[in-house]
A and B are shown apart, each in its own frame.
Chain A
Amino acid sequence: MTEPVSEPSSQLLDIQRRMAAAVMHPLTRGETMPRRRRDGASNQREADAIIRPNDRLTSFERLEIYNRQYWFRLYTSFEEDFPGLQAVLGRARFDALMRAYLTDCPSQSFTLRNLGSRLDAWLDQHPEHLGPHPVLARDMARLEWAHIETFDSEERPPLSPEALAAIDEHSTMRLQPYLRMLALSYPVDDLLLQVRNENGSSASSTNNASTARRRRHVRHVATLAPRPIHLALHRHENSVWYKPLSPEEFGLLAALISGKTLGDAIDLALADSSLPEHQRAAFLQEAFASWAMLGWFTS
């Protein structure tokens, strides 16, 4: 199942490549198929070469239906995944980012769930799309992708009280696969909760056609005062929660996730801590009790 089921030089493959090139090419600002592509190729000529006209539509117009469907479907999915980023950037900047990202990073997965999986890495290379508050926009994009991953990642059985009691400083600990940790420069968590409530839940895969691009309400958030936060994204009763963490808690969990032993993780997390020595034992006890109660430790 690693080789194509037909020869690379096949007529079928040629048709599929030519049609995909037209269908996946960005629309014009007016959301129509461009006459000429960015590489200079003529969509008119390509359409005439592979698509039959009928008594009502030209070859170009028939191909254009699929070009528009492709982008409407991707726009809808991406907007539903990143409503917070849209609120931070505003509609025009978000549209430009979305078009550029989806052009550079077309889906490589059978599921639209993974459409935004390469956004963070892509933004490293394309900071020009982040608007006047790039750190805020970047923080929001990271939080929204982490939310998607936390929503449907695996949940393993939590460690039993007996297994927890047997842990010592040499133990390494596994945490729930759905747990995501973020250190952010802006308190984007509250903003995202508001935006998601306004926009409702995300969409799923369907097999119907769209008559037009689905527009969602966009509340533009001009800016937000910076304030560093540490978050753990986790699930409780299959809802996603954002749990604020102290820098020490964040450091400790990050070290455990990276595979450090419990003793080393504690040393690392408290190395630069301003937490007084006499409060550290209580801090560790409370933190571990809370995480164990949430079922974050697993086998």
Chain B
Amino acid sequence: MPANRFNGFTDYGVGIGLRIPHYQHILSRHPVVDWFEIISENYMVDGGRPLEVLDQILEQYKVVQHGVSMYFGSVDPLSREHLTRLKQLVRRTKTPWLSDHLCWGSVDGRYTHDLLPMPYTWEAVEVTAQKIRQVQDFTEVPVVVENVSSYAEFHASEMTEWEFLNEVVERADCGILLDVNNIYVSSKNHSFDPFTYVNSVPAHRVAQIHIAGHSKFEKYILDTHDHPVLPAVWRLYARAIERCGPTATLLEWDDNIPTFDEVHAEALKANKFLKAAAEAAPDTASAAVQAAANSMRQSGLVESGAPR
């Protein structure tokens, strides 16, 4: 399912996160890269070097925006300034979809700048879905939500994380950025089977997949994005691709960042799985396309037929 309404009917292949240490290499060598993901907040400024670099990147590459502070799960209302700046950036990048996290991070106007885990309650489902819809309506691009790595669970939770995700995306009618590394990290921290999670996600809503490295400690795992992707995460990725079909994939590497070539080579390992899925799973792909078409018909976006 390379293209669906949640990723703007695009087929984006394998990308990497645009990071400052790689600016010079990218702008001087012009490497061939399917697409770059930017952290929206780093470019939601009025001028200067960040926007100059972004404009140069946009001249040559496809760019998708990924946010870190919309906090769909916070009870706090959305910030008008945040939304306005985000929409300005959307117009600049022409991002075909917009992602942020299924988490909270601000309360009473104070920001933690962290991706805090949700209590999986019905109230949280309502709050989160409502805010996703507000962002989608305001920005006028498809919004996709990413599952986060977590290190704590709440007594108040009334369902599993994947049940919570599914309820939210159905009510918000939005897409999913499936981070298989985050699923792995949380599965180890909370002792669940990560394949149960991957197998439970509505495949037709998956717009993008994240892969990354993590760090193991004695009693828990941290989502540090400072290592290559581990074999266990590749296995989850393979299963996700098997279910969803070839899907836009992005490697995150945010700390101890190696050379551009090393990061890109690590990301391109995903192609092995994408090609295998494209060649070996026509049944899955056609089923997913059919589901997407049904979903589109239900939402009134098209009258009949499958997405192109």
Answer yes or no: A101 CB below 8 A from chain B CBs: no
Contacts A5-B127, A23-B116, A205-B69 known; A152 to B48 CB distance under 8 Å?
Answer: yes
- Say which one of B38-46, B168-176, B240-248 lies at the interface with A: B38-46
Interface residue? A42 (CB, 8 A): no
- What separation, in Å, do the CA atoms of A229 and B255 have in the docked complex? 39
A209 to B220, CA, bound (A): 13
Question: A181-214: which residues lie under 8 A (CB-CB) from chain B?
Answer: 201, 204-211
With contact pairs A152-B50, A238-B48 given, residues A205 and B152 touching in the complex (Cβ less than 8 Å):
no
Contact assessment for A178 and B224 in the assembled complex, using a CB-CB cutoff below 8 Å = no
The reply to whether A151 and B49 contact each other, CB–CB distance below 8 Å, is yes
Within 8 Å CB of B116, what residues of A?
A: 16, 19, 23, 66
- Residue interface mask B108-138, A partner, CB < 8 A = 1: 1111111110010101101100110010000
Q: How far is the CB of B64 from chain A (nearest CB, A)?
A: 14
Contact of B121 among A12, A23, A24, A69 (CB under 8 A): A12
- Beta-carbon contact of A51 and B154 below 8 Å: yes
Question: How many Å lie between the Cα of A207 and that of B41 in the bound state?
Answer: 11
Contact flags (1/0) for B179-192 with A, using CB distance below 8 Å?
A: 00000000001110
Contact with A along B285-308 (1 / 0, CB 8 A): 000000000000000000000000
Contact A11 B111 (CB under 8 A): no
Interface size on A, residues (CB 8 A): 63
Residue pair B108, A11 in contact (C-beta under 8 Å): no
Q: Which of A55, A110, A178 has the most CB of B within 10 A?
A: A110
CA distance A208 to B66 in the complex (A): 13
- Binary interface profile of A, 1-32, with partner B (CB < 8 Å = 1, else 0)? 11111100011110111011001100000000
Q: Is B167 part of the contact surface with A, judged by Cβ < 8 Å?
A: no
With A17-B108, A54-B190, A152-B51 given, can you name 7 additional A-B contacts, CB distance below 8 Å? Answer: A12-B127, A20-B112, A24-B110, A50-B156, A204-B20, A205-B69, A208-B212
Contacts of B76 in A (CB 8 A): 4
- CB B67 to nearest CB in A, in angstroms, measures 9
Give me the interface of B with A, judged by CB distance under 8 Å. Answer: 19-20, 39, 41-42, 44-52, 66, 68-70, 74-83, 101, 104, 106-116, 119, 121, 123-124, 126-127, 130-131, 134, 149, 151-157, 189-191, 212, 215, 217, 219-220, 222-226, 252, 254-255
The answer to whether B224 and A204 touch across the interface, beta carbons within 8 angstroms, is no
Cβ A4 vs Cβ B111 within 8 A = no
If A15-B156, A20-B112, A107-B113 touch, whether A207 touches B191 (CB-CB below 8 Å) is: no
A-B residue pairs in contact (CB < 8 Å), sample of 29: A1-B83, A4-B75, A4-B76, A5-B134, A6-B126, A6-B127, A11-B121, A12-B124, A16-B107, A20-B110, A20-B112, A24-B110, A57-B220, A63-B152, A66-B116, A70-B114, A73-B113, A108-B110, A110-B70, A110-B81, A111-B41, A154-B47, A155-B47, A204-B39, A204-B41, A205-B39, A208-B225, A208-B254, A211-B224
Cβ-closest chain B residue relative to A47: B152
Q: Identify the closest chain A residue to B223 (Cβ).
A: A209
With contacts A106-B111, A151-B48, A208-B223 taken as known, whether A15 is within 8 angstroms of B77 at the C-beta atoms is: no
A interface residues with partner B (beta carbon < 8 Å) = 1-6, 10-13, 15-17, 19-20, 23-24, 49-52, 54-57, 59, 61-63, 65-66, 69-70, 73-74, 77, 106-113, 151-155, 177-178, 201, 204-211, 235, 238-239
The answer to whether B111 and A108 touch across the interface, beta carbons within 8 angstroms, is yes
Which residue in chain B gives the minimum CB-CB distance to A74? B113
Contact A16 B104 (CB under 8 A): yes
Return chain B residues, CB-CB under 8 Å to A239.
Answer: 49
Closest-CB distance, B47 to chain A (whole angstroms): 5
In-complex Cβ contact of B156 among A11, A66, A106, A238 (8 A) = A11
Q: Is the CB of B124 within 8 A of A178?
A: no
What distance in Å separates the Cβ of A178 from its nearest Cβ neighbour in chain B? 7
Contacts of A19 in B (CB 8 A): 116
Residues from chain A with Cβ under 8 Å of B153 in the complex: 51-52, 54, 62
